[in-house]
Amino acid sequence: MTPRDWTTTGCVLMAVTTCLAALSALLVATSIEHDPVVALSGEGIHPLPTANIHLTGFVGGVVAAVLAGATFFLGLAAFFWSASLRRQAVLEEILRRLPEPPPDT
């Protein structure tokens, strides 16, 4: 693959990361029925009803978050590989343009 292809792959992976992160936040936020807020007053902490968590949505959100992290780092690796290939091409071009050393006699 060319460096441009690797850059395009990195951009696609970053877009997938954004979608997975949004999905993760949505799944985790909708899996909790009550806001996890602690009420404080002058008399101390008032007991609040416990928050009900739908385990399927919560675990799905955590899995989506892990996949978002993996695709993020894959995108970074694609950008790094693209830069590495471009660097190699530039170095080869510089070496091609250098004059030949004189022969030792």
Q: Two tokens at 18?
A: 């954004």
Q: Two tokens at 77?
A: 């690796």
> What are the extents of the domains in the chain?
3-33+52-97
Whole-model pTM: value is 0.73
* pLDDT on residue 36: 56
* pLDDT on residue 76: 97
Query: pLDDT tens, 19-63?
Result: 999 999 999 888 877 655 555 555 656 555 566 778 888 899 999
3-state SS assignment for residue 23: helix
Q: What is the DSSP string of 35-94?
A: -----EETTEEPP-PPPPB-HHHHHHHHHHHHHHHHHHHHHHHHHHHHHHHHHHHHHHHH
